[in-house]
Structure 1
Amino acid sequence: MKSPYLRIGVDVGGTNTDGVVLDPHRSSEPDRGILAFHKASTTSNPSLGINNTITSMFQSNPDIKASDVASVTIGTTHFINAVVEQDASRLAKVAVLRLCGPFSKGVPPCIDWPASLRELICGHVAFLSGGCEVDGSEIRDIDAKEIERECEVIKQKGIKSIVIAGIFSPVDIVHQQEERAAEIVQKCLPGADIVTSKSVANLGFLERENAAILNASILAFARKTIAAFQSAVKKLRIECPVFITQNDGTILLASAAAKLPIRTFSSGPTNSMRGASFLTQNEVKEAMMVVDIGGTTTDVGLLLKNGFPRQAAAFSEISGVRTNFSYPDVRSIGLGGGSIVKKDSNGKLTIGPESVGYQLPTKAICFGGSIATATDYTILANPEINIGDRSIVSSALSKTDLEDFQSMVKKMLERVIDTMKTSADDIPVLLVGGGAVLAPNELIGASKVVKPRWSGVANAIGAATARVSGIIDTIESTETETATQVMETISQRAIEKAVSNGAKRDTVEIAEMDHIPLQYIANKSRFIVKAVGDFDFERETPLEEGFLDDTQSTNETGREDDMNEFAKKAESGEKSRDQKDEEQQDLVDISSYRPKVEGREWIISETDLAWITTGCYILGTGGGGSPYSHMLRLRQIMREGGVVRVISPQDLKDDDLVACGGGKGSPTVSIEKLPGEEMMQSQNELYKFMGVQPNAVICLEIGGGNGLQGMILGASTNMNIPTVDGDWMGRAYPVAWQTTPVVFEKKPVFLPSTICDGNGNVMFMTEATSELMVERAFRAALSTMGSHVACAKGPISGTNTKNWVVENTISLSWRIGRAVALARQTHQIDGVAEAIIGEVGGHESAKVLFRGKIVGVERTLRMGHVYGEVIIEESGLGKVGRMKIPFKNENIVAVQVEADGSEKIVASVPDLICIIDAQNGEAIGTPEYRYGLLVVVLGIVASEKWTSTPRGLEIGGPKGFGMDDIEYKALGTFQKPKSVIDEYGS
C-alpha cells in the first residue's frame, strides 16, 4: 500500500483563503507538482472556509484522494487578530509570577503595553524569589511556600492562565526554576493554563515575558480554533497530521501550536516568500527579491540563499506590545491592482497610495465604474488579459497616460527593490501575487525578472512546503574551546532539537548561525543557531497529536461572568489614568508643544521623556545600551507621583554637592536582569559612608541608558533632588575615566566610589592613584558580581561642575528626539537627518557623513569590550561608495572608501559618529548592527571640553582608543546646545 504523500496548504488571510494540493515528489517538474489550487473570499467562519477550499480542490481533480494526503498545513491571522482587536471574548486574564529575586521591580510586567490592552489582560503580578545569572548560577532559589501563597490569590481572582518568567531562564539548564515553579502551580491550580517564558521565546527578558503573557491570554481561544481546524479536516475523512505555520517560515504540529499560538502571528508574509522559494527552486540558486503585488500594496522582501526571508529586527511589536520574535523584513508601497491613478494639479500622473480595494469589481473603469485604476491601465497595455470590458478602457484612457503609467510603475518598483538590496549587484526579482501583471519584464537592478506560474497562491504553497525548525539561543563559555568548536556543538543541539520537533534527520541543515561576544564577561559569548528540515512523515504520529476534541476549551467556561474591570470601564466610558496619559501624548501637536518650566526648573513630562530617550540613544554613538527599560522605569516613577526636575548647571551654588551614578556591565545582561534598587542603593551606601547629602545629581554620560539615570536618581523618593542639564561626556564612552573631570584634573576626582550588584554585595574604592585604576578595579570585579552593577561616584562641587560639565545635553537629547518625532508625525522621515542637524547647531556643527545599507559586520572581544567594524554601502541606483566604521562599544572613526579602494577619514572621536535607522530615525546600537539595515551616518562636533586641550584629545580622541596614527580633525565648529530652561522659562 502506497504511503500518503500529498501535501495541502491553506492560507487564511483577511481577504482571501488560498489553497493548494501538491505532490512534493514532482516539485522539479514544470507544474511543480501542483495538482490543484483554489482562491476564494475568506468566510466569517474560517473552518468552513478551510473545508470549502479543500473540497473545491478535491472536486477539481478526481485523482486526488483523501487517503493520499500526508499533511494539511494552515496559515492563519486568526490569533493575532484577537490581540489587535482587543476582543475580551477571546483574551483571558493572565497572572504573572516573575522569578527575579531583588531585580526588575522597577519595570513590572506589562509596563510598556497600551493601557487598554494591559487592563484587559494583566490580572495579577507577583515578584518572587528566583532568577539566574548570565552563567546559569542562581540569584535566588525559588520558594515553594511563596509560590503557593500567590496561587491562593490567583485562585480567589478566578484567573486560570498563569505565566512563569525567570531571569535568564533560557540558560537555566541545571536548576530548572521555571519548570519546578510550574509543577508547584499545577498542583495548586489543577486545570490551569501554565506558560513558562523559556518555552515561548529566547533572551530578552521583558520581550520574552510579554510574548508569554500574550500566548497565555489566547490559549483557550487557540485550542478551540485549532480544534475547529482539525475538525474541518477530519470531516473530509483526511487522516493526517495538521500543522500550523510559524512566523519564521517553519511549522508546528497543531497540538504544539495550540500551546504556542503566538508563534503563528504574522506568518502570512513568510508563507508567500517561502512559496516563492519553492516556485523558483530550479531557476534561482541565490538570494532573490520577492515582489508580492496585491490589490492595495506591493510588499517587497529579500529571500536569502537559505530559502528563508531576511529578518527585520531582533524585536517586533504586536498591537503595541514589544516581543522578541523576529519577522520578515518587508517594505510596502502603495501600488496594487486597485490603486487609483489620477493627475495632480500640474497634470502629472500619480499612482496610489489610495486604492478602491475590494470594490475593484464595481469601481474600476473596466467594470463599468468611473475610477481609473492600475488594473485598467494594465488591461489597456496587455491584450491577452481578459478582464472586464477593454473597449470602455480604450475610450476612457489615453495612450500618453499609459506610457506615463508604465514608466512610473517601473520606477516605483526599481526604487523599492534598490532600497531592499544589500549590495549594488543586480539580483533576481520574483513577482508573485494577483497584481504581478502590473510589473514590466525588465527592471534596473534586476538580473532577471521571473513571473512564475501559480504565483497567485504562493502563500498557500509556502504553507504546504514549510519545514520543521530547531532553534538554540544560549550563552556558552569559550574558555576551554574555541568559538568555532562551541558553534559546532550548538549546531548539533539545534539539529537534535529539529529532529525532536519532527524533522527527518537526513534532511536537517543549519539555516542560520550567529556568534556575539559579551562585553565585560570573560570567555562568554551568545550563540544563536537555527536548524531546519522536512517533516518525517514516516514517524508514527498518534491520532491525538493530530486532533483535539472541540470541548478542550476549559478557559471559556465562565468567561463572560469573569468580565474584567477594563470591559466595565469601557461600557461606562471611564478611562484609566494611563489611558488618558497615552491619549494625551498621542494628541500632542509637536510643532506647538511647550515644555513646563517653573521658574528655573524644567518639570519633565511623559512627552519630554519620550523625546529625551530617543535623543539619548542617538548620542550614544552606537554604545551606552538601549535606554528603553530605564525609560519605562522613570515613566512608572512619574505615574506614581514622582516629579522629575531639571536645572541649569549655571544655577548651581558653588558649595553644592553634585552626585553621579550609572550602570557598568554587559548590555546582554541588562536585557535580562532588569533594574531593581541597586542604583539607589549604591547612592545611599556612598552618602551614608561620607556622612553628607548631595544637592543635585548629574548623569555620568548622556549617551544610552545612563543618560536617564540622573533623572531616575533625582526623582526617587530617597533623594528628591534636581538633575543637572548636562553630563560628563556629552556622548557615550566605553570607560568611566573618559570623562571631562579627568580631562581637567589629573588626580582622582570621583573618590570615594562604590559599586553595588543589587544582590547584597557592595564594593568601595576610597583611595586610588588615578581614575583609570578605579575603572580597572571595578571592571575586574564585574564578572563575579553578575556582570552588571550600579556605580555611585563621589560628588563634585558646584564650582567644578560648572567648569567641567558638558552643558545642556538633556536639552540636546530632547531637541533631537523632538525632531525625530516631528519627522514621523509629518511623514517626513526621509529628512530626519537634516532635522537633527538643525537641532545640534546646523551644518557648521553637524553633517550627514553617509547614507546606505549595512553589508558587513565583524565583532571580537578584547579586554571586555566588543571591538569590531561595520561596513555600509551607498544606497541609490548606480552608487558604489562605501564607509567603514570601527567601534569599541561606541563608534570610533568613519572611513570613506572610494570606488578605487582609496580611503579617507571623514570623522573621528571625540566628534560623535551616530548611526540611525533610515526608516524611523531611531538610533542603532553596535549590538544591533546587522546585514541589510538601511542607515544614515551622522557626524556631530564634540564639545570644546574635549577638543580645547591636548589632554582632552589624548583621553577622548583616537589616541584614547589606541589609534595613535590618526590625527583628530574637527568636523566643524561646536555650538553649545540651547537650553530648554533658557528658551521656555519665564
Structure 2
Amino acid sequence: MRIGIDVGGTNTDAVVLDEADRVLAKAKRPTSPDVTEGLRAALDAVLGEVAEPTLVTRVMLGTTHATNAILERRALGRVAVLRLGAPATTSVPPLSDWPEDLRKTVSAGAAIVGGGHFVDGRPIAPLDADAVRRFLGGTPADAVAVTGVFSPATADQENEVAEIVRAELGEVPVSLSHEIGSLGLMERENATVLNAALYGVAREVTTALQAVLDARGLRVETFFAQNDGTLMAVGYAARYPVLTIGSGPANSIRGAAYLSGVPDAIVADVGGTSTDLGVLVSGFPRESAAAVEIGGVTTNFRMPDILSIALGGGTVVGQEPRSVGYRIAREALVFGGATPTMTDAAVAGGRGVVGTHPVPDEWRDRLADAVRRIDELVADAVDRVALGRADRPLVAVGGGAFLLPDELPGVPEVIRPEHAEVANAVGAAIALASGRLETIVPAAGGGNHRATLIDKARQEAAARAVAAGADPASVQIVELSEIPLSYLPEPAVRLHVKAAGPLAR
C-alpha cells in the first residue's frame, strides 16, 4: 500500500491506495499553522482505517512549505549569487527585479564574473576561476547559486564552478541553473537563487515528515510531488526544492484524471479559499507558456497553467476574496457560526448537505444571490481556460466541489467522480516520476550531429527521471518539442524533452 498526502491552505488530505490503485481510506483534516500537526492528524486518521499499516511501503507528499516560505519571507537561506556572463551582462545585476524585502532576506552578495556562452556554444569569455574564488572567500552564505549565459545548451562552466565551490567551501549546497530553469537568463537566474534559498526549508520538511513516520513505526520510501504532476525522490527534492512549488494544483489535476477516467477535460478544484481551474491534456496538466511569478519574482520553469478565482467553501459572502479558511467548521452558518459563507449558499441552494445546523431563514435571499454569483464566476473562468473549445467535460473535485452547478455553459458535462474531495492526495499517490531537459540543437539539416544531440537530450531526460525515482526499464519520452529560434547565424531550435515512468519497485 501507499499513502498520498496533500497539504493545502485550508485542509490536509490523505489517502491510502492498495497495489491496484483502489482507495482504501481517506481523510481531511484542518491544516495547522505549522503544517506538521495537520499532516500528523491526517496520517493518523487514514492509518486508523487500515488493518495492517506495516504494509504501507511508500508515502507521497505534496506540500506548500516552499511556497509559504517565499511568500512569508520565512526560513529562507542566505545565497551567494554568481553569474557567469561578464562582460556581456553587467548592465542588469542579479536580483535587480526582486522585491526589496525578499532580496535583503536572501542575498548574501552577488557577482558577475567572466564567462558564459553564445547560443551556438562559443564562449563569451573564458571562465574567470580566480574571480570566482575571490567572491566565495569574501561572501559567507548558506548556499551558492550559479547561472551562466545559455548554460542549458552548454553547461561546462557551471559544472566547473560547482567543483570550485566544493574545493573552497566544502559541503555548501550549490544550485546550478542548467538543472533548474529553461532559456532566458534573468528568469532562470531567479529560479536558481530561489532554489538555493529553499535548501533549509527542504531539510525541515523532510525531517518533519520522517519524524512523523518514525513515530508510527513506518519504514517507507518517501517522495515529493513536483509542479508538473509527477514525483521526485527525497534526495532529488532536497536538491531541487523549488520544483515543489505548484504541486498542489498539479496533484488535483492528475487525481481528477485518474478518478474520472477522462484524459482530456477541464478540472475545477474547489477548496476552502479558492477554486483552481486547469486543463487535462492526455492525462497531464496543460503547462503554462508564460513566465511564472512567485512572491514577486519572475521565473521560467514549467508550471501548470492554472487560473485561480476567489471562490471557496470558506469564502465570505459579500466580502470576496476573504475566506474563513480552516475556521469554517466553527464560523459558517451551517456549523452554528455567524459568518455567511459560500458553503452556506450552496447548502441553502440545495447543492449539498453539510454541517450541523440549518441555514437561518433571514439569510436565504442573500445566499440565493451568492449562488448566482458562484455560477457567474465559474462560467467565466471555464470560458477563459477552455480557449474556445466546448468539447471538454468539466471534472469537479475538492472538498467544495458541491458548490458547482450540474450544468455550465461551454461544457457538455459536469463529472463528479467518487473520492473527488481528496483528488489532490490521490494525484500524489498515483503520480509517475519524471525528468526534463531543455537545450538548443541545429534545425533540420544538421545531419548526424543533430540526431546525436537529440538522442543525447533524450538520454539525459531519462537519466533525470531515474534520478527522481523512476524505474529505468519503464521510462518513456512523453514529450519532445522543438521551437525555432530567430536571428541566429545558423538555424537552430529550442528542444524540450520530458521523460516519465512508474516508480522503481
Say which of 456, 463, 468 aligns to 1:501: 468
Distance change >3 Å, CA 190–CA 473, structure 1 → 2: same
Using the TM superposition, give the Cα deviation of residue 362 of structure 1 relative to its aligned residue in structure 2, in angstroms: 4.1
Using the TM superposition, give the Cα deviation of residue 384 of structure 1 relative to its aligned residue in structure 2, in angstroms: 6.9
Distance change >3 Å, CA 301–CA 383, structure 1 → 2: closer
Within-5 A mapping of 1:153-552: 153-154=138-139, 158-172=140-154, 176-281=156-261, 284-285=262-263, 287-305=264-282, 307-341=283-317, 352-382=320-350, 385=353, 387-390=355-358, 392-393=359-360, 395-398=361-364, 406-478=371-443, 479-481=445-447, 489=455, 490-491=457-458, 493-505=460-472, 507-521=474-488, 522-537=490-505
Paired residues of 2:180 and 2:301 also in contact (CA < 8 A): no
Using the TM superposition, give the Cα deviation of residue 379 of structure 1 relative to its aligned residue in structure 2, in angstroms: 2.4
Within-5 A mapping of 1:37-56: 37-56=26-45
Distance change >3 Å, CA 143–CA 41, structure 1 → 2: same
Paired residues of 1:427 and 1:447 also in contact (CA < 8 A): yes
Distance change >3 Å, CA 7–CA 513, structure 1 → 2: same
Distance 1:47 1:264 in 2: 17
TM-score after normalising by structure 1:
0.48
Distance change >3 Å, CA 273–CA 150, structure 1 → 2: same
TM-score after normalising by structure 2:
0.91
Paired residues of 2:441 and 2:450 also in contact (CA < 8 A): no
Distance 1:47 1:103 in 2: 46
> 2:136 aligns to what SS in structure 1?
helix
Larger mean Cα displacement after TM superposition, 120-129 or 34-43: 120-129
1:101 aligns with 2:86: yes
Using the TM superposition, give the Cα deviation of residue 508 of structure 1 relative to its aligned residue in structure 2, in angstroms: 3.2
Distance 2:274 2:33 in 1: 23
Paired residues of 1:17 and 1:49 also in contact (CA < 8 A): yes
> 2:86 aligns to what SS in structure 1?
coil
What stretches of structure 1 of length at least 5 have no aligned partner? 1-5, 28-32, 343-350, 538-986
For residues 274-321 of structure 1, what are the alpha-carbon distances to aligned partners after superposition, in whole Å with 9 as ceiling and x for unaligned?
Answer: 11111112xx24x1011122233322111212x221223342111111
For residues 314-342 of structure 1, what are the alpha-carbon distances to aligned partners after superposition, in whole Å with 9 as ceiling and x for unaligned?
Answer: 42111111111232222233333234446
Distance 2:449 2:162 in 1: 34
For residues 209-261 of structure 1, what are the alpha-carbon distances to aligned partners after superposition, in whole Å with 9 as ceiling and x for unaligned?
Answer: 11111222221332233122223223322222211111111111111211211
Amino acid at match of 2:65: H
Distance change >3 Å, CA 359–CA 38, structure 1 → 2: closer
1:65 aligns with 2:53: yes
Distance 2:219 2:474 in 1: 24
> 2:175 aligns to what SS in structure 1?
strand
Distance 2:132 2:317 in 1: 63
> 2:181 aligns to what SS in structure 1?
coil
Say which of 120, 127, 137 aligns to 2:112: 127
Paired residues of 1:361 and 1:367 also in contact (CA < 8 A): yes
Distance 1:364 1:329 in 2: 32
Distance 2:168 2:366 in 1: 72
Amino acid at match of 1:65: P
Say which of 10, 14, 18 aligns to 2:9: 14
Distance 2:227 2:446 in 1: 36
Amino acid at match of 1:528: H
Using the TM superposition, give the Cα deviation of residue 97 of structure 1 relative to its aligned residue in structure 2, in angstroms: 2.2
> 2:393 aligns to what SS in structure 1?
strand
Distance 2:137 2:352 in 1: 70
Distance 2:124 2:221 in 1: 43
Amino acid at match of 1:434: G
Amino acid at match of 1:364: A
Distance change >3 Å, CA 388–CA 469, structure 1 → 2: same
Paired residues of 1:487 and 1:527 also in contact (CA < 8 A): no
Using the TM superposition, give the Cα deviation of residue 429 of structure 1 relative to its aligned residue in structure 2, in angstroms: 0.6
For residues 570-592 of structure 1, what are the alpha-carbon distances to aligned partners after superposition, in whole Å with 9 as ceiling and x for unaligned?
Answer: xxxxxxxxxxxxxxxxxxxxxxx
Distance 2:19 2:374 in 1: 36
For residues 544-596 of structure 1, what are the alpha-carbon distances to aligned partners after superposition, in whole Å with 9 as ceiling and x for unaligned?
Answer: xxxxxxxxxxxxxxxxxxxxxxxxxxxxxxxxxxxxxxxxxxxxxxxxxxxxx
The structure whose Rg is larger is 1
Identity %: 38
Distance 2:475 2:192 in 1: 28
How many residue pairs align between the two structures? 502
Paired residues of 2:65 and 2:201 also in contact (CA < 8 A): no
Distance change >3 Å, CA 109–CA 435, structure 1 → 2: same
Within-5 A mapping of 1:936-975: none
Distance 1:461 1:451 in 2: 15
Paired residues of 1:276 and 1:458 also in contact (CA < 8 A): yes
Within-5 A mapping of 1:69-88: 69-87=56-74
Distance 1:312 1:373 in 2: 31
Using the TM superposition, give the Cα deviation of residue 36 of structure 1 relative to its aligned residue in structure 2, in angstroms: 0.9
For residues 678-736 of structure 1, what are the alpha-carbon distances to aligned partners after superposition, in whole Å with 9 as ceiling and x for unaligned?
Answer: xxxxxxxxxxxxxxxxxxxxxxxxxxxxxxxxxxxxxxxxxxxxxxxxxxxxxxxxxxx
Paired residues of 2:344 and 2:367 also in contact (CA < 8 A): no
> 1:195 aligns to what SS in structure 2?
strand
Distance change >3 Å, CA 508–CA 172, structure 1 → 2: same
Distance 1:483 1:110 in 2: 37
Within-5 A mapping of 1:696-735: none
Paired residues of 2:351 and 2:403 also in contact (CA < 8 A): no
What stretches of structure 2 of length at least 5 have no aligned partner? none
Using the TM superposition, give the Cα deviation of residue 483 of structure 1 relative to its aligned residue in structure 2, in angstroms: 12
> 2:384 aligns to what SS in structure 1?
helix
Amino acid at match of 2:131: E
Amino acid at match of 2:132: I
Paired residues of 1:314 and 1:326 also in contact (CA < 8 A): no
Amino acid at match of 1:270: A
> 2:413 aligns to what SS in structure 1?
strand
Using the TM superposition, give the Cα deviation of residue 436 of structure 1 relative to its aligned residue in structure 2, in angstroms: 1.4
> 2:91 aligns to what SS in structure 1?
coil
Q: Aligned Cα RMSD in Å?
A: 2.7
Say which of 116, 120, 130 aligns to 1:145: 130
Distance 1:160 1:341 in 2: 45
> 2:138 aligns to what SS in structure 1?
helix
Distance 2:164 2:492 in 1: 33
Distance 1:99 1:386 in 2: 58
Distance 1:494 1:217 in 2: 25
> 1:437 aligns to what SS in structure 2?
helix
> 2:121 aligns to what SS in structure 1?
coil
